[in-house]
């Protein structure tokens, strides 16, 4: 199985890209347009502080606290901010909950819009042509690529993020997790389950 | 500036065949090369200067001639270079050599390292106070614009000229089409409009599929 085209290409052209980036960074720093130290803070932020564990905490809270879940479904921006996650690429949040009858999947067919404060930076596949082209037309085929099969009769709702509203999927809570703590439950919440290309892990897995 | 030709976007991929399988990827690898991280940081730092807005940057990226064969961070890098060249903030010689030979132009802001956390947590909300009543309410049937336009737009081709139903009303938001052209924010009501799969893809569509977009009011007519 061949790797993603864009990924391959990035590697083949890496030398060129690294050089171009370095030249650009030097010029922008020398001209005073940027603070070079700000670049390191930005990178560190998305490597260590803003990622899918934030969203997992939101989902786990919604699983254990029905009042929080209602708030999240009614006003996701405020409910998510109450846990400390807000801002860039998550200014206007909507949360949608999966059920036995309905599965939700999020895409941005036009670029790569993604809820950064809760999920971090998007994976390569989310930004790639295969996902962006197929999610809206053949979501069951996409799920198959992720090894996920939904029961027949499950309706599928795809949310194409074409404006500045960002979507978070609340996956179904796995069976066999009664009495689990929020922290334990958060471990079951995968990034893909919050995009809708996966399900939460089952405790047995 | 006006031109009759449709906007030459290369990014409108929804529903297009032939791109193959999706390649899943493990969590916890936000960057796959140091250059990717630097491109992200440079893009965010320059975006924070106020030299352009996010809709202008999308308009530039989606019309890069090489778009289909570039990786996503290569698109971001090429887009950033284009935005800076177009504004005279750098020239080609500087980009090639990595050394400045022209004086810097003044920019509205500069993102300091100590301002990053606050700036990210604040973000750039696009909702604006409502200055008029919304034309549509949840539950109303609408028809999306069928014709192509000669500028950046956020109505995907697969959802053009289709009949859907308003599901959510999001308030008035900065209008991407105007904002990308440097015509100001011109806030418009924003709606989630949902379509049946069969309306988009015909009778062979996945059973039980519904797809929504977020559409500004000028994209919509009453159906």
Higher per-residue confidence, A3 vs A203: A203
* A99 in active site: no
**Whether pTM exceeds 0.90:** yes
Residue ranges per structural domain of chain A: 5-47, 51-195
Distance from CA of B128 to the nearest CA of A (A): 12
Testing the interface with B: which of A5, A38, A102 to mutate, by most B Cβ within 10 A?
A38
Q: What is the pLDDT of residue B3?
A: 53
Taking each helix axis from N to C end, the angle separating A36-44 and A14-30, rounded to the nearest 10 degrees, works out to 130
CATH architecture, domain B34-122: Orthogonal Bundle (1.10)
Q: Which residues of B touch A45 (CB under 8 A)?
A: 116-117, 120
CA angle B162, B168, B174 (to 5 degrees): 85
CATH class belonging to B127-222: mainly beta
Q: What is the pLDDT of residue B208?
A: 97
Q: How many interchain CB pairs under 8 A, A with B? A: 305
> Residue A2 pLDDT more than 60?
no
Radius of gyration of chain B (CA): 20
Region(s) of chain B under CATH 1.10.472.20? 34-122
Q: What is the pLDDT of residue B191?
A: 99
Q: Say yes or no for a CB contact (<8 Å) between A109 and B41.
A: no
Q: How far apart are CA B135 and CA B216, in angstroms?
A: 11
Find the closest chain A residue to B156 by CA distance: A110
Phi, psi of A95 (to 5 degrees): -110, 140
Region(s) of chain B under CATH 2.30.30.50? 127-222
* A111 in active site: yes
Q: What is the pLDDT of residue A15?
A: 63
Closest to B217 (Cα-Cα) out of B124, B133, B156 = B133
Q: Tell me which residues of chain B have a pLDDT lower than 70.
A: 1-4
End-to-end CA distance of chain A: 26
> Helices H, strands E: what count in chain B?
7, 6
CATH architecture, domain A51-195: Alpha-Beta Complex (3.90)
Q: Say yes or no for a CB contact (<8 Å) between B110 and A191.
A: no
Q: What is the pLDDT of residue A5?
A: 44
Mean of the per-residue pLDDT values for chain B? Answer: 96
What does the pLDDT look like over A150-201, one tens digit per residue? Answer: 999 999 999 999 999 999 999 999 999 999 999 999 999 999 999 999 999 9
Q: Quickly state the pLDDT bin for A10 (edges 50, 70, 90).
A: very low
Q: Which residues of A touch B11 (CB under 8 A)?
A: 110-111
Are B108 and B50 contacting, i.e. CB atoms less than 8 angstroms apart?
yes
What does the pLDDT look like over A41-94, one tens digit per residue? Answer: 999 999 999 999 999 999 999 999 999 999 999 999 999 999 999 999 999 999
Q: What is the pLDDT of residue A16?
A: 84
Q: What is the pLDDT of residue A47?
A: 96
Please report, for residues A190, A191, B147, the alpha-carbon distance to residue A62 in angstroms, rounded to integers and kept in the order given. 15, 16, 43
Q: Say yes or no for a CB contact (<8 Å) between A163 and B215.
A: yes
Q: Say yes or no for a CB contact (<8 Å) between A197 and B159.
A: no
ipTM: 0.97
């Amino acid at each position: 199985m061949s790797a993603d085209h864009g990924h391959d290409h990035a590697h083949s052209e890496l030398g060129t890209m690294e050089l171009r980036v370095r030249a650009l960074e030097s010029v922008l720093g020398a001209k005073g347009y940027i603070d070079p130290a700000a670049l390191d803070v930005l990178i560190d932020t998305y490597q260590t502080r803003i990622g899918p564990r934030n969203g997992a905490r939101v989902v786990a809270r919604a699983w254990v606290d029905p009042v929080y879940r209602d708030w999240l479904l009614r006003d996701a921006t405020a409910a998510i901010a109450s846990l400390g996650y807000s801002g860039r690429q998550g200014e206007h949040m909507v949360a949608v909950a999966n059920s036995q009858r309905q599965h939700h999947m999020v895409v941005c067919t036009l670029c790569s819009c993604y809820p950064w404060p809760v999920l971090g930076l998007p994976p390569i596949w989310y930004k790639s042509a295969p996902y962006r082209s197929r999610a809206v037309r053949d979501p069951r085929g996409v799920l198959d690529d992720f090894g996920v099969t939904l029961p027949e009769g499950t309706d599928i709702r795809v949310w194409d993020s074409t404006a500045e509203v960002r979507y978070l999927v609340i996956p179904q809570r796995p069976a066999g997790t009664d009495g689990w703590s929020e922290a334990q439950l958060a471990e079951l919440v995968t990034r893909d389950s919050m995009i809708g290309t996966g399900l939460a892990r089952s405790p047995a897995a | 500036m006006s031109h009759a030709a449709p906007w030459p976007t290369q990014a409108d991929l929804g529903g297009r065949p032939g791109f193959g399988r999706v390649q899943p990827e493990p969590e916890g690898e936000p960057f796959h090369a140091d250059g990717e991280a630097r491109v992200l940081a440079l893009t965010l730092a320059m975006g924070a200067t106020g030299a352009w807005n996010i809709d202008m940057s999308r308009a530039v990226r989606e019309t890069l001639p090489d778009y289909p064969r570039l990786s996503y961070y290569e698109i971001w890098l090429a887009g950033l270079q284009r935005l800076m060249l177009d504004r005279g903030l750098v020239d080609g010689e500087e980009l090639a050599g990595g050394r400045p030979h022209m004086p810097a132009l003044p920019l509205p802001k500069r993102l300091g390292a100590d301002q990053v956390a606050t700036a990210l947590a604040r973000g750039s909300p696009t909702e604006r106070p409502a200055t008029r009543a919304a034309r549509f309410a949840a539950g109303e049937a609408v028809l999306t614009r069928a014709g192509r336009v000669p500028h950046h737009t956020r109505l995907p081709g697969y959802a053009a000229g289709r009949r859907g139903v308003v599901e959510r009303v999001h308030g008035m938001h900065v209008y991407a089409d105007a904002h990308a052209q440097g015509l100001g924010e011109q806030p418009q009501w924003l709606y989630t409009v949902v379509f049946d799969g069969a309306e988009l893809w015909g009778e062979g569509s996945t059973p039980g599929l519904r797809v929504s977009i977020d559409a500004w009011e000028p994209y919509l007519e009453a159906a």
